[in-house]
Structure 1
């Protein structure tokens, strides 16, 4: 693992010319696959002649699980994608200098919280040719409430955290997204937390695409970080969209 702008990353070079190949930045999930290496195993973007760069999400210090129990939104769900998006421009500049690629098309991929990071970069004005959001956190409030239902708790929203949720409500901010976006969500994922927000973003965003994967839940790997069977289908869907728009 190397570091750019303080962010650890895994880089997979293209088969062709490294100076002219497009670049894809792919942020992992917080649920499995929850590391750059395991996300690269699950979503290798097989057959895409591009730089494939998997940055680590900027996790806070301490026990992530305990931080989540203490305050999921303030400690994890808002600051992680927010920090990843803020770091993206400087990270890309440093990667361009280090890896030697020029002013080439850039694609973004993100899973769950990594998709929130990706969408934050898009609404922040990142110059991106194509994007793929997998099991995405499209609306922070809906996703947080869905996670609470899994654990049998109700998150205590207040004015400050509702403002954070509004910032990460990409349905409300759809007009700020200009890159061609494909949304991929499993039909077994939580309807209120993930499927319906993805459907709402697709409806609000002309030129976007929505794929519902039959039999797929939220994660792309098991607890041992082994990719689930649907990961290969997701990878093919991502490659198809990126190849269309990057090359």
Structure 2
């Protein structure tokens, strides 16, 4: 453990994390907990995500998890080996195992965090960026834990759309088959929006897009927003905001180690901080 305002590093159910304690502690009350998953683009590790989006204005423990195959869980060949998996089969060798493992391990990770940090019983917030938005959405859809609020940045919402983006980005053609189509259907959160809306409480959800991102990402976001607006009891609990000048990622390459906060990350940090300060409560 670290002291006040010092980062804490540890392991929760075998998953490496970086955490920041709240700046203020309400005596006799359990602190809120925010759990975050990073991108495959910069910032692409827990440590880099913690530097990019510290959320220091939220009175909560902020915990940043390393996704499988990244950060302190990186493959022996590092980022190069992960990219090779993507070229071999982006859906079945990269996205699916990465996301599925993150979702399946989350209940044990959360229980471990609540045992290690003074947050048992407090409200839970989730943050997910790009591919890291999928674990956040699937956790909300699965209802295995109570989620009060969430923020998704440059979110992957419909995996098939993102595969098409990467086909354009890397000048490749993805060979879809029955198995990968099943994964894409499971990772289509527009189609599964009713499952998110069935949460109790319905998690207050902020969707953050980059004005300079591939148009497929804002389009997915608008689709999910439109679906949830119809399903939420309070439509104001679902919101979209666009960050000027932001492409997809919001940290400098290579995005593995902590780095100074970019202007775009600062705007994202401000938007999410405001959202959680309004909606992250018991």
Q: State the partner residue of 2:56.
A: 46
Q: State the partner residue of 2:199.
A: none
Secondary structure of the equivalent of 1:23?
A: strand
Match of 2:20 among 12, 20, 24: 12
Secondary structure of the equivalent of 1:8?
A: strand
Deviation at 1:110, TM superposition (A): 0.7
Q: State the partner residue of 2:82.
A: 64
Deviation at 1:148, TM superposition (A): 1.5
- TM (norm. structure 1) is 0.95
Q: State the partner residue of 2:214.
A: 190
Match of 1:211 among 233, 237, 241: 241
Contact 1:82/1:120 (<8 A) preserved: no
Deviation at 1:100, TM superposition (A): 2.8
Match of 1:176 among 191, 195, 202: 195
Match of 2:38 among 18, 28, 31: 28
- TM (norm. structure 2) is 0.84
Q: Return the alpha-carbon distance in structure 2 between the equivalents of residues 203 and 137 of structure 1.
A: 16
Q: State the partner residue of 1:118.
A: 136
- Which has more radius of gyration? 2
RMSD of equivalent CA atoms: 1.4
Contact 2:31/2:118 (<8 A) preserved: no
Q: Return the alpha-carbon distance in structure 1 between the equivalents of residues 174 and 248 of structure 2.
A: 20
Q: Which moved more, 1:227-236 or 1:136-145?
A: 227-236
Is 2:272 the partner of 1:231? no
Secondary structure of the equivalent of 2:88?
A: helix
Secondary structure of the equivalent of 1:143?
A: helix
Deviation at 1:16, TM superposition (A): 2.5
Match of 1:108 among 126, 137, 141: 126
Q: Return the alpha-carbon distance in structure 1 between the equivalents of residues 178 and 278 of structure 2.
A: 42
Q: Which ranges of 4 or more aligned residues in structure 1 deviate by more than 4 Å?
A: none
What aligned pairs does 1:88-167 form with structure 2 within 5 A after superposition? Answer: 88-125=106-143, 126-167=145-186
Q: Return the alpha-carbon distance in structure 1 between the equivalents of residues 174 and 263 of structure 2.
A: 32
Q: Return the alpha-carbon distance in structure 2 between the equivalents of residues 13 and 221 of structure 1.
A: 22
Q: State the partner residue of 1:244.
A: 278
Q: Return the alpha-carbon distance in structure 2 between the equivalents of residues 67 and 5 of structure 1.
A: 26
